[in-house]
């Protein structure tokens, strides 16, 4: 007597479901790895930009104009940087925001990291889903000089403060929104820049 039997429909469906689940998990992990690779590129780009900007400042006593990063792949920063980098997936410029119109007191350069679990996001005071407290929450990583990295969607955007945030004077005498004024050593805070006198050294934050 032939006692062999084939797979039942239920067994086939269960097997297909398991294979599909394993495929989805593998695809998810692969996409996460790709995203982390792009984030590493973004961090590297910003680190190179910082070096180029500081070299530029050493020669000219001011930082580059606010349009310097707009031409991705351009040579406007030569000899400090061969080509201006841009976001590896969007192919758009990184956000460059001078602290003052003359570009001499400092700057911020911002980028959006894909991996929201990246510990570097929290290190600069940002949060998952909330970015760094500003209107464009996709900008969750950056570099700066002359002030903390307080991220914004770009020049002229309206910030949305995080709970506990307040305006205070930077150690260079500018007015900025601090996400954690106490942790930054700010002796005086206010609800607007108009209520601060940043010319007084005693009013300036430690960081």
Q: Where are the alpha helices (DSSP H) in the chain?
A: 9-60, 119-123
Is the pLDDT at 34 greater than 90, yes or no? Answer: no
Q: Summarize pLDDT for 90-137 with one digit per residue, the tens.
A: 888 888 888 877 778 888 888 889 888 888 888 887 776 767 665 667
Rounded distance between C-alpha atoms, residue 20 and residue 206, angstroms: 54
| 167 contacts 190 by C-beta, under 8 angstroms | yes
Distant-in-sequence, close-in-space partners of 196: CB < 8 Å, separation ≥ 6: 167, 168, 169, 175, 188, 190, 203
**Domain spans of the chain, in order of start:** 9-160
Q: Summarize pLDDT for 148-161 with one digit per residue, the tens.
A: 776 444 333 444 34
Rounded distance between C-alpha atoms, residue 135 and residue 95, angstroms: 14
| Cα dihedral 153→166→63→45 (10° resolution) | -50
pTM strictly above 0.85: no
- Which burial class, exposed, middle or buried, applies to 4 when counting CB atoms under 10 A from its CB (0-12, 13-18, 19+)? exposed
Distant-in-sequence, close-in-space partners of 174: CB < 8 Å, separation ≥ 6: 99, 100, 105, 106, 146, 147, 198
Rounded distance between C-alpha atoms, residue 109 and residue 139, angstroms: 10
């Amino acid at each position: 007597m032939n006692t062999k039997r084939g797979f039942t429909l239920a067994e086939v469906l269960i097997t297909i479901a398991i294979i599909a689940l394993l495929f989805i998990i593998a695809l998810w992990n692969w996409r996460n790895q790709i995203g982390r690779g792009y984030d590493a590129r973004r961090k590297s780009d910003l680190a190179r930009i910082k070096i180029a900007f500081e070299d530029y400042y050493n020669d000219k006593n001011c930082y580059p104009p606010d349009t310097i990063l707009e031409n991705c792949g351009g040579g406007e920063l030569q000899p400090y940087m061969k080509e201006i980098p841009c976001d590896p997936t969007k192919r758009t410029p990184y956000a460059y925001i001078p602290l003052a119109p003359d570009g001499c007191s400092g700057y911020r350069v911002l980028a959006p990291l894909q991996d929201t679990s990246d510990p570097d996001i929290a290190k600069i005071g940002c949060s998952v889903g909330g970015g760094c407290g500003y209107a464009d929450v996709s900008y969750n990583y950056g570099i700066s000089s002359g002030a903390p990295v307080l991220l914004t969607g770009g020049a002229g955007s309206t910030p949305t403060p995080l709970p506990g945030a307040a305006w205070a004077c930077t150690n260079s005498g500018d007015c900025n929104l601090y996400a954690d004024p106490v942790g930054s050593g700010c002796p005086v805070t206010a609800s607007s820049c108009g209520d601060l006198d940043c010319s007084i050294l005693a009013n300036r934050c430690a960081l």
